[in-house]
Every structure is written in structure tokens, then in C-alpha cells.
Structure 1
Amino acid sequence: MEEIAPSIARYLDALVPERTGDMVIMEDYAKAHGFPIIGPSAGYFCYLMTRVMGARKVFELGSGYGYSTAWFARGVHENGGGVVHHTVWDSNLSNMARLHLKNMGYENIVVYHIGEAVETLRNTDDTFDIVFNDIDKSAYPDSLPVIKSKLKKGGMLIVDNILWHGRILDPSERSRDTEAIRVMIDMVRNDPEWIYSIVPLRDGLLLAYKQ
């Protein structure tokens, strides 16, 4: 099941302003290796939210080789500077991100962590304007209380893969990951401290504002 018509997805990606340099290199790498990045339209949306909020402090849970990080870093840079936390298990991915983001001029903005993302966030002595969540889907529900405790009042949670390739629409789909996404959506829906919506870009983004 397609979560969004391919023709519409291509149209939305085509509307994103042209990328150059390492951003294009990262997009080409994803295509060549089947690596799951958030893609141009969702990345540009994250950049837009960073600018709209005037965000200076962003924490990413599950950052890959830095594609989404680059969009957040661009927004933070244009907001006057700050910090974006890049978090992955894999040292090779971390090293790739360091190279790309240094080439893009963000070496003074990005802080790199190698380890389990939620525990890293839990142990970080700070609160954040934006938390971006793209970890293993089965871990989504357990991550939410930690995220909420580290997100400032008026902060924004962005969660990737919230449509899960259309699987959440299929009542017969009961895999661990699909059920975990459903549980997390219900946790947000039933918590009056969140104002939320789902943005149907790429594989779906949950956008939740902490009151």
C-alpha cells in the first residue's frame, strides 16, 4: 500500500529548492544504497519548522548519516546559531555525518553521540526546542515520556514514519512495529498537554506541540 501517490511525492520533492554539494551527495547515496533518509520534502519541512519556531536547540533520536541533521542544522544556523545533537549506534554513520556536516559548515553546531538514542537524551542535561524521533519503531512508546521530559514548554516533537507505508491503516496488520506506532499515536492523542497533527509527507510525520 502506498502512503502517498508516487506522482504527488515526486511533485512535492520537486518543489523543494535546489540542493547543492554534500546535500546532493547524501541524497544520491541514499538512492544508490537504499538507505532510508527522510527525503527532500520532509527534510525541508523540518527546516521550515526550525525556522518558524526560532529553534536553537534540537535533539535527533536516530540520525543516520546526517541528512536530517543537515536540515535542522541549516535552520539553527539561520536562526543565529545553537546546537543540534546527532545520535546513532553506528560509528561509521557518525563518521560519514561528521564529514558531510563539516563540509557544509556546521561543525560548530552539531554535537555527535554514538549510543542508544533515548538513553543519550535521558542523560543530556538540557531541554530542547525540537526533538526529532526516527528510532526503531518498536521503541516509540517507551521513548515518549523521556522526550516529553526533555522538550521545553512550547517545544515541538516530530516523529518520522508515522504512516508506516500505509500499514497502520490495515486492521489486520499486527506486527510489533506497527502496533508500537499505533500505541504512540494514542499516547499523544490522549494527553491534553499535546496539540498534534499528522503531516502526510513521504511516510508521514507526526507533529506534536507541547503546551
Structure 2
Amino acid sequence: MTVPDDVETFAAAVGPEPDDVLREMDARAEKTGFPTVGPAVGGWLQQLAGLVGARRVFEFGSGFGYSAYWFARGLPAEGEIVLTEIDAEELDDAREYLARGGHADIARFELGDAIETVEAYDGPFDVVLVDNEKDRYVEAFEAVREAVPVGGVVVADNMTAGPFEFEAIHRVVVEGGETDNAMARGVADYLDHLGDAEDFETTLLPLGEGLAVSRRIA
């Protein structure tokens, strides 16, 4: 389930104003069907970075840099955001977009598997975005878990839609049923895993395709 288009448009209108580069990225996503988080969620990511006073952000899966661009707008001049992507052309595009937006100095671009990449970094990361393969969300969370300080946040996309229908994830998480969709199963396993993570508190943000927001509390 995604938020109705009129609500999503309303949320985007209330949120931070996108610049020309973001408008170009939105047009690209609409033309090609590339699954970005969209401006409503993007504005919220920018706000989140500011709310937690983030200085460092790590992304598991960055595509052509859309969510990273929003995050970068919420970081201080001395901040850092690490983008990871397995597609070299998309990562090159991300580098160009962030440079055009004036964010090149705080962005680091890593080509390759995000879970392997994060192991080469020392924490802390104040905000983490999990948006890689859905059946590897638990693996991603565990790979970065100890690098998130108390008060830091892990955000995971595609909790209610994306590579599956809402009914599939609802059937597993709410009704206790089963699904043969591997992506829905991966998200359900992730939510179940978070439920057992006593050092994190998780809530659902029903914007875009659904975000699980997990704040480290201990």
C-alpha cells in the first residue's frame, strides 16, 4: 500500500522546497520508472537529519543519489554521507548530481556491495538508510547496528509496498500468515527482527512506500 497520490502531493507541498537538481531527478524517476523515495519522503529525510543533529549518514543502496541528496541538505558543512551502489553508471550520476548541488565535499561514493562496504567504516553513523535487497535487510541492520549511537536512527524503505503488494506483507505481519514473495518475506523478517532488538524502538512512517524508523535507545 502506498499513500494516495493527493496525500503524497500534499505532504510534498508542505515539506522543504526541492531545488532545480532535485526537480531534474524527479523528472528522471518519473520518465524511467526508477523507484526513488519521492519528494514527500525526501523532505522528511532532510528534516530527520536536522532533528537528530546528524553529522554522518550511511546508505545501503543509493541508486543515482536521490535520497542522499535530500540527506545532504540536512547535514552541516563538515558532515559526511556515504553512498553505496553496485551499478557504476548510477553511482557516477549520483556523483554528478551531488556535485551540481554543492554537496560534493561531504559525499563519499562506494561502488560495490553495501554490506561489505560498511565493514570498512568506523562509526558512528547518526542516520542509516536501509534500501538494498529486501531479503538482506536483517543482514544490513546487523552490519551497522553497533555503529549507530544512542539517539541515532535506522530508516528502512519499502515496508508496505514496492516489490510486493501490501496484502502480502499485511498477511504476514498482522495476520500471522505466510507469503511466497521473497521480498515481502524479507521485510517481514526485518520487522520481526526489530521487534526483538531491545536497544531500538521502531515505529512506522506511512509515507511513500512505508518507512520503518528505528531509534537506538540503549
TM-score by length of 2: 0.91
Listed as ranges, the gaps of 5+ residues in structure 1 are none
Residue 61 of structure 1 contacts residue 134 of structure 1 at CA under 8 Å; is this kept in 2? Answer: yes
The residue identity in structure 1 corresponding to 2:16 is P
* 1:85 equivalent in alignment to 2:75: no
Counterpart in 2 of 1:5?
A: 4
Residue 52 of structure 2 contacts residue 151 of structure 2 at CA under 8 Å; is this kept in 1? Answer: no
The residue identity in structure 2 corresponding to 1:186 is D
Count residues with an aligned counterpart: 208
TM-score by length of 1: 0.93
Off by >4 Å, runs of 4+ in structure 1? none
The 5 Å alignment of 1:1-211 reads: 2-77=1-76, 80-164=77-161, 165-166=165-166, 167-170=168-171, 171=177, 173-211=179-217
Matched position secondary structure for 2:91: helix
Deviations 1:159-179 (A, max 9, x none): 111112413113453311111
1:190, distance to aligned residue in structure 2 (A): 1.6
Distance 1:34 1:94 in 2: 17
Looking at secondary structure, tell me which structure has more strand per residue: 1
Alignment root-mean-square deviation, CA: 1.4
Distance 1:4 1:105 in 2: 31
The residue identity in structure 2 corresponding to 1:63 is S
Residue 122 of structure 1 contacts residue 150 of structure 1 at CA under 8 Å; is this kept in 2? Answer: no
Distance 2:15 2:31 in 1: 21
Give the share of equivalent positions with the same residue, in percent: 27
